[in-house]
A = this chain, B = another copy of it.
Amino acid sequence: MENGRKALVTGGAGFLGSHLVRALLADGWQVAAMDSLLTGNTDNIDEFAGNPSFEFIKHDVTEPYDGPWNLIANLACPASPPRYQADPVHTWETSVLGALNAARLARKNGATLFHASTSEVYGDPEIHPQTESYWGHVNCNGVRSCYDEGKRAAETLLADFRRQYGLDVRMVRFFNTYGPAMDPEDGRVVTNMIIAALRGRDIPVYGDGTQTRSFQYASDAIEAVMRLIRKPREEIDAFCAAKKLSVPVFNIGNPGEFTINELADLVLREIPGTGSKTVNMPLPGDDPKRRRPDISLAGELLGWKPVVPLSEGLPRTIEYFKAKCL
């Protein structure tokens, strides 16, 4: 595999997608970034222009595609509620048809398929922290379902491609992740708060702000993905057999739990003197009240754990947004 390591990253102009492109290039892969640019942005991949190992393909993964890749990393999907709720049918199609098109090509190529799932498959969980074996608590026809159920159905399909066709499928469930390359307008809590504070506007806090989130810095997430991609398949299969896992899917997140109010306080401390203050807003439909990953499985298989605390990652992210948006 040292010769001809060709990777496709769908959603490659997106937040985590562009970080993965960078990591794969650094690791010696030839990398194609595919993106519809509906939520991705070429700003995130401009730095790779002129790199002979890199190419950009503008394409929507809801339509079939073809190419010689032996690694397909499927990260294409709008991931923030305002973005994925802007066109719910297309969000569902991106998740569901995107997984199907990736799986069919990976099967044809005998390629490895890395798939980015999400903590949203747990919905509004009834156990804390969430382990991968938890089935979740998800509304299948609410306003978040296009994303949550779309992502669940993608996992279902890929688990069956592995069982039925022996496809080398590797999945992670990303919990809240933040960092440079985030879309300033994605409407997620970290970007919302930073952008509001930088612009001296009030910081929106949905509900009473006591709901908790875990915040993972992007480099921690990408390190986990690279370790999972590098792992020989036999080791993954043996690990799944030993742990009685029906499919290799791993929580990737930072277990450090913060309330939304604590996050707001931290943002206000890091961006002083703007006159911003928090203001409470109504909680949107089906918003999960609490979510925190159990990452022991990923730790055991990959020797991985997050190393960037919020107190380090948040200032770095603020620097990024200052440069981009001010």
Contact = CB atoms under 8 A, between A and B. Distances in A.
Given A153-B152, A160-B92, A161-B89, A123 B135 contact: yes
Nearest to A160: B88
A46 interface: no
B135 A156 contact: no
Contact of A141 (B93, B97, B247): B247
A74 to B, nearest CB: 16
Contacts of A155: 140-141, 149
A150 interface: yes
Contacts of A93: 100
B142 A149 contact: no
Contacts of A87: 164
A210 interface: no
B139 A135 contact: yes
A145 interface: yes
Given A88-B163, A123-B135, A163-B88, A140 B152 contact: yes
A53 interface: no
Interface string A182-225: 00000000000000000000000000000000000000000000
- Chain A interface residue count: which class? 35 or more
A246 interface: yes
Interface string A152-181: 110111011101110000000000000000
A140 B163 CA distance: 14
Interface in A55-114: 87-89, 92-93, 96-97, 100
A260 interface: no
A146 interface: yes
A157 B126 CA distance: 25
Contacts of A157: 89, 92, 96, 146
Contacts of A159: 141-142, 145
B156 A140 contact: yes
A141 B121 CA distance: 11
A7 interface: no
A249 interface: yes
A313 interface: no
Given A89-B161, A123-B135, A164-B88, A249 B150 contact: no
B135 A121 contact: no
A136 B164 CA distance: 26
Interface in A15-31: none
Nearest to A91: B160
A92 B156 contact: yes
17 contacts: A89-B157, A89-B161, A96-B96, A96-B153, A96-B157, A97-B100, A121-B140, A135-B140, A136-B138, A141-B156, A142-B246, A143-B246, A145-B159, A149-B149, A149-B155, A152-B152, A153-B153
Given A92-B157, A141-B249, 19 more contacts: A87-B164, A88-B163, A89-B157, A89-B160, A89-B161, A89-B164, A92-B156, A92-B160, A97-B100, A121-B140, A135-B138, A136-B138, A141-B159, A145-B159, A146-B156, A149-B149, A149-B155, A152-B153, A153-B153
